Amino acid sequence: MVMKDNYKMGNILGIPLELHVSFLLLLLFFFIYSALTLNPGPFIYIVMLFATVTLHELSHSLVARRYGIKITKITLLPFGGIASMEEIPKDPKKEFAIAIAGPGFNFIVGALSLVAIAAFSDVSRIFPFFEFKMESLIDLLLVFFKVNLLLGAFNLFIPALPMDGGRVFRSLLAFKLGFPAATEIATGIAKLIAIFMALTGVLLPNLWLIFIAFFVYIGATQEGEVSRINFMLAGLKVKDLMSTKVVTVNKDITLEEFADILFEKKHMGYPVVEGNRLVGIITFSDLSRVPREEWSIKRVGDVMTKRLITIGQDEDAFEAFIRMARAGVGRLLVVEGERLVGIISRTDLLRTLEIMRLMRFQR
Ligand code: ZN
């Protein structure tokens, strides 16, 4: 996601859990507020929201995992969370099941709480609905019921990607139209909803609504882009797009000598070898970080990046795109076992996308 203000909290069922800064501030605020007013109610309320959001996201994750989709992390926001998946499920049935799992869990828990309320007290006590008291144990149950109902409804009934309702909507469209067309429609509608939410947020004024609108707009834009790239690169393998004429440099040459090669070949990145073994990668920016006067003493092996991000030549070109984006790098080394067979860069992918776009318009 765009917002990088997340705090790691540990793992739950093997999935890394992160807390968005807005949620952290909210927890702190309510803690201080409760401490100052000597009323634990507001803090209990926010902790309950926190637990409910976590369980909501875990429900998505467990269903996704059943389909063999790996969850890289869960980010918790006050109005819901984001379970980041290794891939977007391309089967509408799977996307539907994963999306409905979160709100579904909230509704089931909400219904159970209601049964418990009916058993121990009086159901009419849920009204007035937007009054959150915290004076007895029954109040705790009432708040739990309301939090689950609100969170489930909010996430499911707003049909805006990347919210759950948007995913359900997209998957239903995808049954008829296929994923690319369904995504175009769903992201378009999501952006309209986001603009409407933002305007409402300004008029009310309500800061949360503006925040959510922003989140939805950016999320929908990204989802649309990834889907378009995925669609255009479909069927292409890494080996179809990689360059095989790879210029490698020896680990022991000086930066001075490397600069000459850089000037002559004009590539931006070079795999570094020691004998036949691939040991790193050096780029123009690695060189530019070293002061000019040290170029004659320092060697390629001293400044190269040792962390190698590789891909196999028979893997999907889209996978290369995802791996570069996730690692924040511009190129991947294509390997066959220990042997370097080519290099694939973002430029290779973008050039292909440009050509595909041109061909699509001319057909
Ligand atoms: Zn959800």
Told to judge if 336 belongs to the known catalytic residues of this protein, a careful annotator would answer no
Tell me whether residue 166 is in a domain: no
Please name the residue ranges forming H helices in 122-178. Answer: 137-157, 164-177
Tell me whether residue 142 is in a domain: yes
> At 274, which helix (H) or strand (E)?
strand 269-274
pLDDT of 245 higher than 90: no
Q: Which structure tokens are listed for 19?
A: 């807390």
Tell me whether residue 51 is in a domain: yes
Q: Given 18, 57, 95, 223, which residue is catalytic?
A: 57
Instruction: Please report the pLDDT score of residue 195 as a whole number.
Output: 96
Tell me whether residue 312 is in a domain: yes
In the three-class reduction of DSSP (H, G, I as helix; E, B as strand; rest coil), residue 77 is classed as strand
pLDDT tens digit string along 106-156?
999 999 999 999 998 888 888 887 776 777 788 888 988 999 999 999 999
Instruction: Please report the pLDDT score of residue 361 as a whole number.
Output: 57
Domain match, 188 and 299 both: no
Tell me which residue range forms the domain holding 226. Answer: 173-232
Domain match, 192 and 300 both: no
Taking the complete model, does pTM exceed 0.75, yes or no?
no
Instruction: Please report the pLDDT score of residue 217 as a whole number.
Output: 93
20 Cα: distance to centroid of ligand 1 (angstroms): 15
Instruction: Please report the pLDDT score of residue 336 as a whole number.
Output: 85
Instruction: Please report the pLDDT score of residue 1 as a whole number.
Output: 39
95 Cα: distance to centroid of ligand 1 (angstroms): 12
Average pLDDT for 310-324 = 88
Q: How many domains, the chain? A: 3
Average pLDDT for 183-203 = 95
Domain match, 133 and 12 both: yes
Please, what is the end-to-end C-alpha distance for the chain in angstroms?
A: 35
155 Cα: distance to centroid of ligand 1 (angstroms): 6
Domain match, 139 and 49 both: yes
DSSP 84: E
* Per-position DSSP letters for 289-347, written without gaps between them: TS-GGGTTT-BHHHHSB----EEETTSBHHHHHHHHHHHT-SEEEEEETTEEEEEEEHH
Tell me whether residue 1 is in a domain: no
Instruction: Please report the pLDDT score of residue 360 as a whole number.
Output: 63
What is the pLDDT confidence band of residue 83, given thresholds at 50, 70 and 90?
confident
Tell me whether residue 227 is in a domain: yes
Side chain identity, residue 308: L
Q: Name beta bridge partners: 160.
A: none
